[in-house]
């Protein structure tokens, strides 16, 4: 079986289910939103456990949600799943010139990420440091994203005068510390909680 054949089969199966299954036929972007969030978190859980079979299953559930939203948009004449893939392919080519345009590149991973972020900023034309950041992001992840953007603008994150001992400021300092050490603070906290749970169950 050639690579991608199962994806084609999946699209056909889902097209039929969308047409013939009463529950699937009545779903909307809004009704499915909670499942997209749930499946995203379950995928993160699978990554944390290191169980590849679990991860494969959860990625499938996440793919189902992506297809669902594309199918709804297609029925409304907006875009198709193929349009989603085409747009993503074009973006990957545009934001990775070191692979698709230059004959040779000796960029480091950090330089590649900087290049990606500059291209993204140019495309998005953000008017503020928080443009495009979902307000529902977990607080640690949100802080990390804001600090990252401020660092790229070479603007320090201002500390309110006289408030350095407040819990929020101390948490923000920990995010700064994690960034300086190349650590994902959100993942670090999840790992610490997982260790605490395991220790409590011993």
Q: Residue 121 is encoded by which pair of tokens?
A: 């900023």
pLDDT recorded at residue 102: 66
pTM for this predicted structure? 0.71
Q: For residue range 38-79, what is the model confidence (pLDDT) as tens digits?
A: 999 999 999 988 999 999 999 999 999 999 999 999 999 999
Is residue 37 within 8 A of residue 179, CB to CB? The reply is no
In angstroms, the CA 189 to CA 202 distance is 20
Where b means 16+ CB within 10 Å and e means fewer, 138-177 reads eebbbbbbbbebeeeeeeeeeeeeeeeeeeeeeebebbbe
DSSP 145-179: HHHHHHHHTT---PPPTT-TTSHHHHHHHHHHHHH
pLDDT tens for each residue of 171-183: 889 999 998 898 9
Residue 104 corresponds to which tokens in the numbers above?
């040779």
Q: Summarize pLDDT for 117-135 with one digit per residue, the tens.
A: 778 777 777 667 678 788 7
How far apart CA 129 and CA 147 sit, in angstroms, is 9
Class in CATH terms, 5-79 = mainly alpha
Q: What's the rounded Cα separation, in Å, for the pair 98 and 199? A: 46
CB contact at 8 A, 176 and 147: yes
C-alpha to C-alpha distance for 181 and 10, rounded to whole angstroms: 42
User: pLDDT confidence of 104, banded at 50, 70, 90?
Assistant: low
CB neighbours of residue 17 within 10 Å: 15
24: left (phi over 0), alpha (psi -120 to 50) or beta: alpha
Task: List phi, psi (to 5°) of 131.
Answer: -55, 130
Per-domain residue ranges for the chain? 5-79, 132-202
Q: Which two tokens stand for residue 189?
A: 């906290």
């Amino acid at each position: 079986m050639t690579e991608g054949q199962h994806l084609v089969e999946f699209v056909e199966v889902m097209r039929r289910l969308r047409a013939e299954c009463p529950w699937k036929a009545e779903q909307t972007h809004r009704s499915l939103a909670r499942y997209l969030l749930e499946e995203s978190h379950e995928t993160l859980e699978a990554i944390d456990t290191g169980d590849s079979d679990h991860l494969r299953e959860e990625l499938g559930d996440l793919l189902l949600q992506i297809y669902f939203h594309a199918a709804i948009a297609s029925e409304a004449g907006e875009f198709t799943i193929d349009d989603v893939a085409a747009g993503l392919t074009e973006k990957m080519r545009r934001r990775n010139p070191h692979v698709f345009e230059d004959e040779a590149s000796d960029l480091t991973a950090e330089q590649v990420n900087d290049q990606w972020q500059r291209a993204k900023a140019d495309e998005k034309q953000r008017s503020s440091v928080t443009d495009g950041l979902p307000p529902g992001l977990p607080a640690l992840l949100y802080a990390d994203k804001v600090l990252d953007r401020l660092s790229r603008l070479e603007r320090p994150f201002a500390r309110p005068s006289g408030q350095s001992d407040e819990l929020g400021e101390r948490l923000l300092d920990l995010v700064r510390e994690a960034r300086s050490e190349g650590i994902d603070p959100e993942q670090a906290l999840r790992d610490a909680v997982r260790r605490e749970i395991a220790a409590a169950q011993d």
